[in-house]
Amino acid sequence: MLKEHSPTTVHDMVADRSILLVDVREPQEFAAARIHGAVLFPLSSFDPTSLPAPDAVRVVFHCGSGKRSAMAVARCQQAGIQHTEHMAGGIQAWMAARLPTITLDPASGGVIDRR
């Protein structure tokens, strides 16, 4: 069963360190814009057995729009691993909610921390 969280709820869970936020986008997407504290584990090389056990760490997945993070949950379930949570709408919804991100300035290549 897929459990969806709003970006605001995920923001609060990241802030209180109650989850491990796993970004399943590709490295170039992660480099362009990311959520502070998220770890990258691209869906293209995703192996659910490499994740911490569900009883050890609460994992929430996110991607660009919510599609790939839902796929990550499905892959976990197929492997018998009970990580069932993702962020609805992905980083697009996160940014639309004006939550903090880390991005690259296309002109200089420098990091912009939008907190």
* Per-residue pLDDT tens over the stretch 50-68: 999 999 999 999 999 999 9
Average pLDDT over residues 12-40: 96
pLDDT at residue 108, rounded to an integer = 78
Share of the chain above pLDDT 70, in %: 97
Confidence band (pLDDT; 50, 70, 90) for 26?
very high
- According to DSSP, the residues that pair with 20 across neighbouring strands are 59
- Report the alpha-carbon distance of residue 97 to residue 18 in Å, rounded: 21
Residue 94 pLDDT grade (very low, low, confident, very high; cuts 50, 70, 90): very high
- As a whole number, mean pLDDT of residues 31-36 equals 93
**Is residue 87 within 8 Å of 72, Cβ to Cβ?**
no
Judged against a pLDDT cut of 90, whether residue 28 lies above it is answered with: yes
* Distance from the Cα of residue 76 to its chain's centroid: 15
Residue type, 70: A
pLDDT tier for residue 91 given thresholds of 50, 70 and 90: very high
